[in-house]
Structure 1
C-alpha cells in the first residue's frame, strides 16, 4: 500500500509540474505576442482625406433603367486605389438581385461603376 501511495504522490507531483510549466510557457507566449507588431487586419485601408479617393457612401451612385429593370449601382472604396461596385436589380418595384457584382476590383470608382453596369446589363439579358 505504501508503494501505491508513493506512485500517487509522484503522479500528483508530475501533474503539478506540468501545470506550472504550461502556465509559464503560456505567459511567455503572451508576452512575446504583445512585443511583436500587430498583424494587419482585414479592415479596408482608407486615405487620411477620404474625399481624395472619392470614398462613396451607401447611397446609390447610379440608377438606370435597362429593358424594364432598374439597376442601382453602389461603389465602395476598399483601400488606396481599389474600388468595387455592387448592383441591386429591381423589376416592378421588387428586388430580383441584391449585391451582384463582377468579381474584380478597379483603380477608379468610374471603372468600377462601368464594370458593374455592364455586368448588370448582361445579367438582365440572361435572366430578364
Structure 2
C-alpha cells in the first residue's frame, strides 16, 4: 500500500473516532440512562472501528517512513490510549464531560503537532 493510502485511512479513522467521541460526550452531558440512548450502539461501533483504523494506518505510515519508534511516535501512541478511554470516563463522570471534551481537543492538537513537527 502507498503512503497516501495509509494517510487517507488514518484521517478516515480520525474522523470516525472524533465524531463518535463527540457523540459520547453529548450523551454524557445530556444525562439519562446510557443503555436507553438510541444511538449508543452506533457511537460505540464508530469509536472502536475508528480507533482500530487509526492504529493500523498509523503503523503503516510509520513503516512507510521507516522511522521505527522515536519519541514522537510513542507520544502519539500514549495519546491514542488516553483518547481511547476518555469517552468511558465521561460516561462515568458526567459532571466532567465538558472539561474532558476540551481536553480531548487539546490532545488531538498535540497529536497533530507531534505528527507534523516530529520534535523528538
Bigger proportion of residues as helix: 2
TM-score computed with the length of structure 2 as normaliser: 0.28
